């Protein structure tokens, strides 16, 4: 208790001299964190420029459903200009962050444009961590962007079409997911559901027994962040859906069409999905700002980057901690709450007030496995699995989606998916 109070006091800092009452704020990244910051700043007198490399915000938690033809790409993307339409002092610039001049307070975009700031909020999200495993980057797919999700969808359906045309060769219908966390479990469950349902309806000449979905996890259980009971439930449910779960297996290397495991096992495959680890985008390491575990930007209690009075880091990009000093998970809730907090600190500083520390409120964690199967931990030791967890998962995702059109579209798609046993957009785009 005393230690906590001390930590809080240390994180509280004096007002920054010379802060204008109407500061210029640049927010880089229109993800959960950046958008939460912008929404909060819009309530206050600040001139805000939001920057993102895309002109839309991506709802990452449902990307895997785009990849497995459950949802359309437009369901999980929302135009940024629509988000900020009602925010009078907020503008958007599409561009990719290249560098930050912390001394002179401006950022440089890849095309050479510069943007001055009084305060900068960095929330550029995360990307895959390949841990230096040979061939992992080249011969696997990760799903962090809409393009990547569509790439996976194209690849999956090309495998089916090729199998119809030329027969099932060299494990062409073996789909391997690496990483048994929430993303890996969701992907494995969705691919298994898609593969088996699609074969029965659309690819009737293929034998369902030729499809294999393998989930590889190096720990002794899936969903390490959840209670053991829920891990076991997830494993059982995946098995029922035809997924082979390999625990305590480590990936040694990837070669074209083959994944090599530490145990000596080699798996010929048609697709490897990488859900094994999270890193930050390469640009973060080039900003000249202090980084810690996973390359994340080191921040103080108020979420300012260590050593920078005017730069905040939020969401997956930041190495923020809870009050016990444990790093916060790279999930939507810490990003949303962190984004809001950074905005509130800028408001406080502009009013000549002191900053105060970020307190993360854990609202629980969920993961879905497939139709009527999910797990959820919702605080106070309450654990759910099966249909109640699945309904909670569906409800939460619809509520969190941006835009009424997207919410309605996702609900219609899910209902259709449920009734029709998954006849989604099974199309190969781009030839």
Active site residues: 186
> Is there binding between residue 401 and ligand FAD (CB under 6 A)?
no
Within the chain, what is the greatest distance between any pair of CA atoms? 72
d(CA 289, CA 400): 32
Single residue of 69, 143, 350, 389 touching ligand FAD by CB under 6 A: 143
Cβ of residue 43: shortest distance to ligand FAD, in angstroms?
A: 19
Cβ of residue 407: shortest distance to ligand FAD, in angstroms?
A: 16
Which residue, among 270, 289, 335, 344, has the nearest Cα to 97 in the 3D structure? 289
Cβ of residue 45: shortest distance to ligand FAD, in angstroms?
A: 24
**Contact call for residues 17 and 352 (beta carbons, < 8 A):** no
- Cβ burial of 338 (10 Å; 0-12, 13-18, 19+) is buried
Tokens of 401: 């989606």
Stretch that binds ligand FAD, among 9-17, 194-202, 328-336, 409-417 (CB under 6 A): 328-336
| Cβ-based nearer residue to ligand FAD, 83 or 182 | 182
The CA-to-CA distance between both ends of the chain, in Å, stands at 61
> Is there binding between residue 28 and ligand FAD (CB under 6 A)?
yes
> Is there binding between residue 61 and ligand FAD (CB under 6 A)?
yes
3-class secondary-structure state, position 61: helix
Cβ of residue 282: shortest distance to ligand FAD, in angstroms?
A: 9
Cβ of residue 123: shortest distance to ligand FAD, in angstroms?
A: 5
Alpha helices in 127-173 (DSSP H): 136-139, 146-166
> Is there binding between residue 54 and ligand FAD (CB under 6 A)?
yes
10-14, Cβ contacts within 8 angstroms, sequence gap of 24 or more: 10/301, 11/300, 11/301, 11/302, 11/355, 11/356, 11/357, 12/301, 12/302, 12/354, 12/355, 12/356, 12/357, 13/300, 13/302, 13/304, 13/354, 13/355, 14/354
Single residue of 39, 47, 93, 96 touching ligand FAD by CB under 6 A: 96
d(CA 370, CA 238): 8
> Is there binding between residue 390 and ligand FAD (CB under 6 A)?
no
Cβ of residue 207: shortest distance to ligand FAD, in angstroms?
A: 30
Stretch that binds ligand FAD, among 118-126, 193-201, 305-313, 378-386 (CB under 6 A): 118-126
Single residue of 70, 125, 179, 184 touching ligand FAD by CB under 6 A: 125
47 dihedral zone (left: phi>0; alpha: psi -120 to 50; beta): beta
101: Cβ–Cβ under 8 A, 6 or more apart, which residues? 107, 108
> Is there binding between residue 33 and ligand FAD (CB under 6 A)?
yes
Stretch that binds ligand FAD, among 29-37, 222-230, 266-274, 419-427 (CB under 6 A): 29-37
Which residue, among 294, 295, 312, has the nearest Cα to 303 in the 3D structure? 312
Secondary structure (DSSP) of 225-279: TS-HHHHHHHHHHHHHTTEEEEES--EEEEETTEEEETTS-EEE-SEEEE-S-EE
Strands 47-52 and 56-58: unpaired
Contact set for ligand FAD, span 277-296 (CB under 6 A): 281, 283
Closest residue to ligand FAD in the complex (CB): 31
Single residue of 108, 261, 306, 331 touching ligand FAD by CB under 6 A: 331
Binding string, 62-81, against ligand FAD, x = CB under 6 A? -xx-----------------
Single residue of 19, 26, 27, 34 touching ligand FAD by CB under 6 A: 34
Stretch that binds ligand FAD, among 38-46, 55-63, 69-77, 257-265 (CB under 6 A): 55-63
104: Cβ–Cβ under 8 A, 6 or more apart, which residues? none
- Do you know the residue count of the chain? 431
Cβ of residue 171: shortest distance to ligand FAD, in angstroms?
A: 24
| Cβ-based nearer residue to ligand FAD, 100 or 347 | 100
Single residue of 183, 231, 337, 406 touching ligand FAD by CB under 6 A: 183
**Contact call for residues 402 and 78 (beta carbons, < 8 A):** yes
Cβ of residue 300: shortest distance to ligand FAD, in angstroms?
A: 18
Single residue of 70, 123, 171, 422 touching ligand FAD by CB under 6 A: 123
Give the sign of the dihedral formed by CA 314, CA 316, CA 317, CA 319: positive
Single residue of 44, 78, 130, 144 touching ligand FAD by CB under 6 A: 144
> Is there binding between residue 52 and ligand FAD (CB under 6 A)?
yes
Cβ of residue 329: shortest distance to ligand FAD, in angstroms?
A: 8
Residues that bind ligand FAD (CB under 6 A): 28-34, 51-54, 57-58, 60-61, 63-64, 96-97, 123-125, 143-144, 182-183, 281, 283, 315-317, 330-333, 335
């Amino acid at each position: 208790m005393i230690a906590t109070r001390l930590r809080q006091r240390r994180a509280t800092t004096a007002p920054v001299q010379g802060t204008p009452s109407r500061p210029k704020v640049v927010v880089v990244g229109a993800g959960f964190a950046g958008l939460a910051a912008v929404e909060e700043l819009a309530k206050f007198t600040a001139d805000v420029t939001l920057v993102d490399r895309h002109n839309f915000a991506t709802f990452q938690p449902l990307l895997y459903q785009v990849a497995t033809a459950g949802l359309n790409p437009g369901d999980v993307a929302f135009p940024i200009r629509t988000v900020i339409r009602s925010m009078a002092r907020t503008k958007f610039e599409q561009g990719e962050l290249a560098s930050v001049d912390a001394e002179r307070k401006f950022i440089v975009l890849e095309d050479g444009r510069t943007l001055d700031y009084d305060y900068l909020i960095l929330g550029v999200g995360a990307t895959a961590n390949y841990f230096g495993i040979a061939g992992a980057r080249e011969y696997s797919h990760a799903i962090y962007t809409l393009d990547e999700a569509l790439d996976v969808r194209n690849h999956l359906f090309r495998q089916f079409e090729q199998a119809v045309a030329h027969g099932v060769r060299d494990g062409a219908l073996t789909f391997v997911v690496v990483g048994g966390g929430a993303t890996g479990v969701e992907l494995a469950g969705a691919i298994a559901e898609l593969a088996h349902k699609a074969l029965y309806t659309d690819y009737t000449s293929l034998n369902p027994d030729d499809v294999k979905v393998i989930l590889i996890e190096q720990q002794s259980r899936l969903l390490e962040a959840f209670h053991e009971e829920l891990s076991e439930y997830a494993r059982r449910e995946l098995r029922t859906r035809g997924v082979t779960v390999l625990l305590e297996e480590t990936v040694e290397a990837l070669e074209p069409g083959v994944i090599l495991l530490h145990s000596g096992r080699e798996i010929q495959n048609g697709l490897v999905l990488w859900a094994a680890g999270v890193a930050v985008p390469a640009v973060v390491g080039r900003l000249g700002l202090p980084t810690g575990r996973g390359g994340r930007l080191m921040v103080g209690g108020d979420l300012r980057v260590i050593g920078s009075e005017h730069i905040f880091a939020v969401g997956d990009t930041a190495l923020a901690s809870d009050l016990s000093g444990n790093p916060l998970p790279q999930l939507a809730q810490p990003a949303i709450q962190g984004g809001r907090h950074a905005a509130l600190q800028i408001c406080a500083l502009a009013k000549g007030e002191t900053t105060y520390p970020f307190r993360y409120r854990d609202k629980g964690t969920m993961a879905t496995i497939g139709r009527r199967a999910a797990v959820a931990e919702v605080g106070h030791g309450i654990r759910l699995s099966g249909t109640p967890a699945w309904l909670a998962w569906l409800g939460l995702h619809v509520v969190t989606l941006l835009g009424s059109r997207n919410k309605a579209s996702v609900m219609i798609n899910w209902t259709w998916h449920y009734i029709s046993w998954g006849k989604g957009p099974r199309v190969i785009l781009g030839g």
